[in-house]
Structure formats: structure tokens, C-alpha cells
A = this chain, B = another copy of it.
Amino acid sequence: MKIKCVLFDIDDTLYDTSLQMSEARLNAVKAMIEAGLPANIEMAYRVLEEIVKEYGRHYNQHFDRLLERLGLKWNPRVIAAGVTAYRETSSVYLKPYSDTVPTLLKLRESGRKLGVVSEGRAVKQWQKLIQLGIQHLFDRVLVSEEVKEDTVTPEMFRLVLKELGAFPEETVFVGNRLDTDILCANKTGVISIRMRKGEHRVEEPKSPEMAPKYEIGKISEIFGVLKKLEK
């Protein structure tokens, strides 16, 4: 059967989010130390990771909490050094994988519809697509915030498929997380492809529902999957 529609997650699927985050945090900690933070890099980095885990990615005072947790008083110079380094590094690493754009172009040129189904804040996810320079390549982008959810849901897949006029069995979805991306795709009958990238690459499915139909290590390997499906 011809695959009419290809859907993607963004983070660790279209670009290397895990590398971006770890480099941004590392450079932030280094800049803070250079600006006077009395701590060593490894320790401060570890504490920062704990804080991000605890308060979530969208919290905007990670560095304030870092100083607190190190027993130091609030220091706007040190925090500003961290914020500046974090942003600059994030921006440098916000680049598509080398095969992302060629793959998306080739998929479009073979007459398929492309979409994004992603968790997160809608404006933030759109900013990523714009800065990655790939915002014009998708027929539909749906971010969980738009349906008032924190993570992707089966309903999001149903909504996008309806808009793009595709059935689940003629649709593939590429995502990196088993417990959200792959699970929801499986639940809606969309053919799930796991992208083994980033911090979740070592996980194994905790239930048959989370097991991906296919696995790839880079985005251009999708053509091998399509070949199998369409033969």
C-alpha cells in the first residue's frame, strides 16, 4: 500500500535536541563559573540537571535555583552569564540533522503529505521549526498545547489524519519516545517508526503497545521502511 502521509516528532527526530541541551547547560555552567560562581563544572552541571528534572524545561529560573542550591546568594551577573551562554549555545546547535532537509524534500517530491505531531508549547515548537528553516515543508503542524495537552495523544493523530485526508494504515509516524510517541501512534493504527536518537535511545518498550513497528537510526533510513511497506 502506498504511504500517503509521513508524520514527525521534532525533538531528537528532526534535530539533535539532546546534544543541544547538554551543550547549552555545559556552556552555561562554564560561563557562570567564569563570571564568579565558586563551583566546579561537573558538580554544578549535575545540580543543574536535577533542577531541570525537578522544575521542568519550561521553568524560567533554573539558574536562580542553582545558586540557591549551592548555598550562594542571588547574583544577577552570574545568572546573566549563564542565560547568555545558554541561549547562544542553544541557537548554534539548533540545526537539522544533515539528512533532515534532503529527506523531507524527497518525501514531498514523491507526492506525500508531511506533518508534525509534537509535544510541548506551540510557540516554542514553531520557533524551532522556523530556526531550523523547515517550517514551509509541512502541510500540518500540531503541538500538544493546541489541544490543551502536555504530551502527544491519540486524538492529535486522528485530528491531523482527518485534516490531511489520510487513513492510519497509509500513514507512518517517526518519533523518539516509546512511552508517548510510539504508544499513541500504535493506538491509532498509524505505522510507528522509532528514531533511536538522544537521551531515550537506550530505552526498551515496557509493554507490547509501546513496541515500534520499525526502528531507524537516522531519518533518511525512512526510505528503506517505505520500500518494505510499499512493495
A residues contacting B by CB (< 8 A) are 76-77, 79-81, 83-84, 122-127, 129-131, 135, 141, 143, 145-146
Contact = CB atoms under 8 A, between A and B. Distances in A.
A104 B129 CA distance: 41
B122 A84 contact: no
Contacts of A143: 76
A84 B135 CA distance: 13
Nearest to A122: B76
Contact of A123 (B83, B125, B126): B83
Nearest to A77: B126
Contact of A126 (B79, B126, B130): B79
A89 to B, nearest CB: 14
**Closest 8 CB pairs between A and B?**
A80-B126, A76-B122, A80-B127, A76-B123, A80-B123, A84-B130, A76-B126, A79-B123
